[in-house]
């Protein structure tokens, strides 16, 4: 097996783990949406999102990766908001304009 094949196998294993964590995360998002629904709490929380991005970004030592992590987390937050809005029975808003869970 050549290096490219080995590296791709590593990516495949990582993707499998990320998929498992994604499902766990979205199940947690479900519970959060239900909590918010019961209490009339809005989906969008800009302070929470800013704090989450800052906290996670600070965990990365490689400066060149930080903008990619922030884009990744912002995309994940957009998916979470969309899912919460679906659970709340709302039409998802344009996620490119919003930035939080």
Inter-CA distances, 99 with 39, 67, 83, 85, Å: 22, 15, 14, 14
In a domain, 32, yes or no: yes
Q: 39-83 pLDDT, tens per residue?
A: 999 999 999 999 999 999 999 999 999 999 999 999 999 999 999
**pLDDT of the residue at 92:** 64
In a domain, 25, yes or no: yes
Number of domains composing the chain = 1
Regarding pTM above 0.85, the answer is no
In a domain, 92, yes or no: yes
Q: 14-25 pLDDT, tens per residue?
A: 999 999 999 999
Residues 53, 37: Cα–Cα separation, whole Å: 24
Q: Which domain holds residue 31?
A: 16-97
* Per-residue pLDDT band at 90 (split at 50, 70, 90): confident
In a domain, 10, yes or no: no
In a domain, 53, yes or no: yes
């Amino acid at each position: 097996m050549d290096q490219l094949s080995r590296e791709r196998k590593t990516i495949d294993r990582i993707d499998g783990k990320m998929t498992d964590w994604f499902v766990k995360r979205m199940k947690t998002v479900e519970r959060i949406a239900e909590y918010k629904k019961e209490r009339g709490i809005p989906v969008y929380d800009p302070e929470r999102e800013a704090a989450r991005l800052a906290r996670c970004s600070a965990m990365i030592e490689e400066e060149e990766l930080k903008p990619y992590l922030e884009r990744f987390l912002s995309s994940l937050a957009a998916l979470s908001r969309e899912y919460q809005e679906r659970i709340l029975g709302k039409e998802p808003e344009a996620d490119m304009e919003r930035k939080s869970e």
